[in-house]
Amino acid sequence: KQRVIGCLACMAIGYTLSLGGFFRLTEAMMGNPGPFVIISTIGNIISLCGSCFLTGPTNQAKKMFRESRRIATNLYLGSLALTLLVAFAAEGMTGQGIVLVVLMLIQYVAIAWYCLSYIPFARQAAKRLFNRYYNQVSSDDM
What does the pLDDT look like over 9-33, one tens digit per residue? 998 999 899 888 888 888 877 777 7
Identify the pLDDT of residue 73: 93
- Tens digits of residue pLDDT in 57-115: 899 889 899 998 999 999 999 999 998 888 888 777 888 878 888 898 899 899 888 88
> Per mean pLDDT, which of 39-43, 72-76, 108-112, 134-138 is the most reliable?
72-76
Is a pLDDT exceeding 60 seen at residue 142? no
The burial class, CB within 10 Å (0-12 / 13-18 / 19+), for 101 is middle
List Cα–Cα distances, 57 to 48, 89, 90, 113, in angstroms: 10, 29, 31, 20
Predicted pLDDT of residue 141: 60
Q: Please state, in angstroms and as integers, the Cα–Cα distance from residue 69 to each residue in 60, 89, 110, 118, following that order.
A: 12, 29, 10, 9
What's the Rg (C-alpha) of the chain? Answer: 17
The answer to whether the beta carbons of residues 79 and 114 sit under 8 Å apart is no
Identity of residue 61: A
Higher pLDDT, 38 or 17: 17
What pLDDT, on the 0 to 100 scale, is given for residue 12?
92
Identify the band that residue 55 occupies on the pLDDT scale cut at 50, 70 and 90.
confident
* pLDDT for position 77: 94
The stretch 121-129 carries a mean pLDDT of 91
Query: What is the structure's pLDDT at 84?
Result: 86
The Cα–Cα gap between 90 and 87 comes to 6
